[in-house]
Amino acid sequence: MKTLLPIPGSESALTLHRYPQRKNETLQAFDAADEYMIAHASTWSVGKNARILIINDQFGALSCWASQQGFDVFQVSDSVISQQATIENLAHNDLAGITQLTSLDTLPADIDAVMLRVPKSSKMLTWQLQQLASVTDAHTLVLASAKAKEIHTSTLNQFEHWLGATTTSLAKKKARLIFTTPTKQLVPQPDPVNDVDVPEFSMRLANWPNVFSAKKLDIAAYLMLPHIPSQAHLKRIVDLGCGNGVLALQAARNNPAAFIYAVDESHMAVASAKHNLNRHDIDSRRFLCEARDCLTGFEHTDIDLVLCNPPFHQQQTITDHIAWQMFCDAKRVLTTNGELLVIGNRHLGYHTKLKRLFGHVTVVASNKKFVILKAVNA
Binding residues vs ligand SAM (CB under 6 A): 81, 212-213, 218, 221, 241-243, 246-247, 263-266, 269, 293-294, 309, 311, 322
* Cis preceding-peptide flag for 20 (omega within 30 of 0): yes
CB of 285 to ligand SAM, least distance (A): 22
3-state secondary structure the chain: CCCEEECCCCCCEEECCCCCCCCCCCCCCCCHHHHHHHHHHCCCCCCCCCEEEEECCCCCHHHHHHHHCCCEEEEEECEHHHHHHHHHHHHHCCCCCCEEEECCCCCCCCCCEEEEECCCCHHHHHHHHHHHHCCCCCCCEEEEEEEHHHCCHHHHHHHHHHCCCEEECCCECCEEEEEECCCCCCCCCCCCCEEEEEHHHCEEEEECCCCCCCCCCCHHHHHHHHHCCCCCCCCEEEEECCCCCHHHHHHHHHCCCCEEEEEECEHHHHHHHHHHHHHCCCCHHHEEEEECCCCCCCCCCCEEEEEECCCCEECCEECCHHHHHHHHHHHHHEEEEEEEEEEEEHHHCHHHHHHHHHCCEEEEEECCCEEEEEEECC
Long-range contacts of 69-72 (CB under 8 A, 24+ apart): 71/46, 72/99
Which residues, in sequence order, are CB contacts of 191 under 8 Å at separation 6+?
A: none
CB of 274 to ligand SAM, least distance (A): 14
Name which of 144 and 242 has its Cβ closer to ligand SAM: 242
Name which of 25 and 160 has its Cβ closer to ligand SAM: 25
Name which of 36 and 327 has its Cβ closer to ligand SAM: 327
CB of 116 to ligand SAM, least distance (A): 20
CB of 126 to ligand SAM, least distance (A): 19
Name the nearest CA neighbour of 113 among 179, 56, 64.
179
CB of 183 to ligand SAM, least distance (A): 34
Name which of 148 and 269 has its Cβ closer to ligand SAM: 269
Name which of 53 and 242 has its Cβ closer to ligand SAM: 242
Name which of 32 and 198 has its Cβ closer to ligand SAM: 198
Give dist(CA 134, CA 162) in Å, integer: 10
CB of 292 to ligand SAM, least distance (A): 6
Name which of 36 and 212 has its Cβ closer to ligand SAM: 212
Name which of 73 and 221 has its Cβ closer to ligand SAM: 221
Name which of 72 and 264 has its Cβ closer to ligand SAM: 264
CB of 124 to ligand SAM, least distance (A): 12
Phi and psi at residue 249, to the nearest 5°:
-65, -45
Name which of 30 and 212 has its Cβ closer to ligand SAM: 212
Dihedral angle sign, alpha carbons of residues 229, 233, 239, 245:
positive
CB of 48 to ligand SAM, least distance (A): 36
CB of 314 to ligand SAM, least distance (A): 7
CB of 91 to ligand SAM, least distance (A): 20
